[in-house]
Structure 1
Amino acid sequence: MQTLTQIKQLLAAHGLRPKHRLGQNFLHDHNQMRKILAAAELSPGDRVLEVGPGTGTLSEALLEAGAHLVAVELDTDLEPILRERLAPFGDRAHLVVGDILASKRQLNPDVIDALQASSPKPQAPNPKPQASSFKLIANLPYNIASPLLINLAADHPAMTLAVVMVQREVADRLLAKPGGKQYGPLTVMVQAMCEVQRVSVLPPGCFWPPPKVDSSVIRLRRRATPMTDDPPRLADLLHRVFGQRRKQLGSVLGRSTALPPGIAGTDRPETLSVEQLIELARSL
């Protein structure tokens, strides 16, 4: 794994420094990286999507564990560093230079193509096609964490596991229970599709430059049976009711709207469980 000194040297050799506008905070704590790798439960041949690889510190560790990696980096200035660092791993390493998201609700098509192209080739004498599943393992830039996780959880069932570094506030929202201010659309959409677990909490000193907030590593494991079979319908309801979260459901949906048993027009959306919100979406 790259040390902090090596990360700084790589950037300096290309005349670069971390870019605050891109949320570049480089993880250099090797103990925390080992926790990420352990939580990812990697097996040789696993397909992995990494977003924001930076200088390739985590990328190299993933590839050394036998992964077939698609790394997506927005910063074109980092491309030469990543090309050089990933080259020794041959066709197991794919680099996409661009935004992971084509829009708030859609992955970049180039990323989808790269994931498909990164499938391990079957080996004789057992040439069975490989599964199309992949894992998201990344130190996510804070500004894209929420839309990316919602998108992958709701629309990409091939993502079976995610182990991601996010701002602690985002982690708290992912783990939130009904009734708190952290509970909202992100909570409900992700919990409906995945089991959520906090792996660790990281102080700012684990990064360079240190951010002004704590971070958390979160693991999302896709449910064998999702709690909803219609994520778009649930997303539309959440946008509608949480857009006016302080209002009672009757005021948002109309007093004449028939509600499922156990849900009253005087309820507010943040008081309803994930199951109740799914049932409400199904009933409308």
Structure 2
Amino acid sequence: MNEVVGGVADRYAALGFQTRGDLGQHFLRTPDAAHALLERAGIPAGAHVLEVGAGLGTLSWAIASAGYRIWAVEKDERLRDHLTERLAPFGDRARVTFDDVRRVDLDGGLDLGSALVSIMPFDPELSAELIRHVFTCARVEYGLVVVPSASAQLLTLCEDLTVEEVDGIARSSFWPPAPTVLRVLAIGRRSTCSS
């Protein structure tokens, strides 16, 4: 399967699609950026991947086309037809849910050892809150997320998570361009074992 060349986000921009500020919505512009993020994630073959805020599906498509099983969760109902159609060729390996991830039964839908790979909303508090929520699911083992710098600072305050900056990503990689500096973070669970 070949990804559409030239970004889907740029086509939506040209059509006058209005992003939702309340969702911190910014869409990844190119398949190359999606593949670079996925490569950085280091997900084991065949793993189950959760994507929060799947948007136009650029990262979702990269995840599914690399052979992973993906559960794409998106809150914006306006994207239902597009995202569902975009992931349809992957059949059972791609599941799409339209809801707020905080209302979704993640434990009931993910395998043990699942990974979170997402471009989180570009609202720092919302982004940090959603990541903390996802990690309340015992089945999510680690994650790679794109967040605003302020989210990274908020997440380092979580005593139960490990947070490491592993990369950056250009603001221009998104439409509309990101309003702030972005960080690519590796997130994991802090060991609770005592010696």
Alignment TM-score > 0.5, same fold: yes
Contact preservation (8 Å) 1:43, 1:65: no
SS at 2:163 equivalent: strand
Contact preservation (8 Å) 2:26, 2:122: no
How far is the alpha carbon of 1:203 from its aligned partner?
3.2
Contact preservation (8 Å) 1:168, 1:201: no
How far is the alpha carbon of 1:95 from its aligned partner?
0.6
Q: Aligned pair in 2 of structure 1 residues 29, 90: CA closer, same or farther (>3 Å)?
A: closer
**Quick one: which amino acid aligns to residue 127 of structure 2?**
A
SS at 2:36 equivalent: helix
Gaps of 5+ in 1: 103-107, 120-131, 175-185, 229-284
Q: Cα deviation per residue 1:107-128 (whole Å; 9 max; x = unaligned)?
A: x23x44333xxx5xxxxxxxxx
In the aligned structure 2, how far is the partner of 1:112 from the partner of 1:19? 28
2:170 to 186, 190, 203: 203
The answer on 1:167 being equivalent to 2:155 is no
- Look up the match of 2:100: 99
**Quick one: which amino acid aligns to residue 166 of structure 1?**
V
How far is the alpha carbon of 1:77 from its aligned partner?
0.6
The answer on 1:83 being equivalent to 2:79 is no
Larger helix proportion of the pair: 1
User: Which has the higher Rg, Structure 1 or Structure 2?
Assistant: 1
SS at 2:34 equivalent: helix
The answer on 1:33 being equivalent to 2:34 is yes
Gaps of 5+ in 2: none
How does the TM-score come out when normalised to structure 1? 0.60
How far is the alpha carbon of 1:160 from its aligned partner?
1.1
How does the TM-score come out when normalised to structure 2? 0.84
2:192 to 226, 229, 249: 226
Higher RCO by CA contacts (8 Å cutoff, separation 6 or greater): 2
The CA RMSD measured in Å over matched residues stands at 2.4
2:138 to 157, 161, 165: 157
Larger strand proportion of the pair: 2
SS at 1:70 equivalent: strand
Contact preservation (8 Å) 1:204, 1:212: yes
The answer on 1:188 being equivalent to 2:170 is no
